[in-house]
């Protein structure tokens, strides 16, 4: 049986009994659920949850879960002539989801921003013919269900398909990654950021944290690095980790001014 942590949504390697602890939730970036460590399974999830499909823009579809589960993120399906890429992942996988993606051409690859969204990635890969799962090698130790389909990449960038580039930003996790789509927004570009670059409630801005639930900020050096790393990439829109977290326009400028504001706050220069 593959147990799933109910707080972070990560699926673990097969075991008869639930693991004693979730290493991801014991890390300072996450937390143990208020009711204590608890587990579920994919079979149990399928009973009480269903998929939430929403078109985001031409060639980009969101796949979420209702009612929300664990961290509550949604995945994004990037559709290209060369194949489809699943960006980030969710714990739920059922026949409805498989049929939905299959009707859109299946999956050529899976790529995930950081360990909090690894969820049921191995189940997803196996459901789509063993699609490779691209994770940055710096986050190798956070994989709770090892599998031969996981492809660890190294360095700062990786082209998945023409026009789709993984970019390591670090910050939230050492291997924290975003996905740049050059063809999104009619060629103006989009950034799929998970919460490596977090779209905040004032959607004219983003922010950067070591831990979001525990409110641990990143140091100035990390924020400067993220901003410099993404400076060469044009993008009109930023898609965060949830349906509502989208910077609709001027995304690259929003990231620049957000970095300036964040650094000013660290230096005590906010009004």
Domains, the chain, with CATH or none = 3-266 (3.60.15.10)
Output the pLDDT for position 68: 97
Residues of 1-19 as b/e, b for ≥16 C-beta within 10 angstroms? ebbbbbbbbbbbeeeeebe
Output the pLDDT for position 244: 95
Output the pLDDT for position 149: 98
- Whole-model pTM: value is 0.96
Output the pLDDT for position 270: 78
Q: What is the mean pLDDT of each run of 10 residues along the chain (271 residues)?
A: 97 95 97 95 97 97 98 98 97 98 98 98 98 98 98 98 97 98 97 97 97 97 98 98 97 98 93 69
* 65, 42 contact by CB (below 8 A): no
Q: How many CA atoms lie within 13 A of 259 on its CB side?
A: 19
Beta-strand (E) ranges in the chain?
3-5, 39-41, 50-57, 60-66, 75-80, 83-87, 109-111, 133-136, 150-153, 157-161, 164-168, 177-181, 190-194, 198-199, 206-207, 209-211, 216-217, 237-240, 246-247
């Amino acid at each position: 049986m593959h147990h799933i942590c109910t707080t972070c949504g990560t699926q673990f390697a097969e075991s008869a009994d639930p693991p004693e602890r979730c290493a991801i939730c014991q890390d300072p970036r996450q937390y143990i659920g208020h009711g204590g460590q608890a587990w579920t399974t994919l079979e149990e999830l399928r009973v009480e949850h269903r998929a939430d499909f929403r078109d985001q823009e031409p060639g980009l579809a969101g796949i979420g879960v209702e009612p929300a589960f664990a961290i509550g993120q949604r995945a994004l399906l990037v559709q290209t002539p060369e194949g489809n890429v699943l960006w980030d992942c969710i714990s739920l996988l059922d026949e409805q989801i498989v049929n939905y993606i299959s009707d859109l051409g299946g999956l050529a690859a899976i790529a995930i921003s950081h360990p909090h969204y690894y969820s049921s990635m191995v189940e997803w890969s196996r459901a789509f013919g063993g699609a490779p799962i691209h994770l940055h090698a710096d986050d190798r130790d956070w994989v709770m269900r090892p599998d031969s389909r996981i492809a660890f990449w190294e360095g700062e960038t990786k082209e998945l398909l023409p026009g789709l580039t993984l970019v390591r930003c670090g910050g939230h996790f050492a291997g924290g990654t975003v996905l740049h789509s050059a063809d999104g927004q009619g060629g103006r570009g989009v950034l799929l950021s998970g919460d490596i670059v977090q779209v905040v409630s004032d959607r004219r801005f983003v922010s950067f944290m070591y831990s979001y639930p525990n409110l641990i900020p990143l140091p100035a050096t990390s924020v400067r690095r993220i901003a410099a790393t993404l400076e060469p990439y044009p993008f009109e829109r930023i898609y965060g980790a949830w349906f509502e977290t989208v910077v609709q326009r001027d995304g690259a400028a929003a990231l620049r001014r957000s970095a300036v504001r964040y650094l000013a706050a660290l230096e005590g220069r906010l009004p």
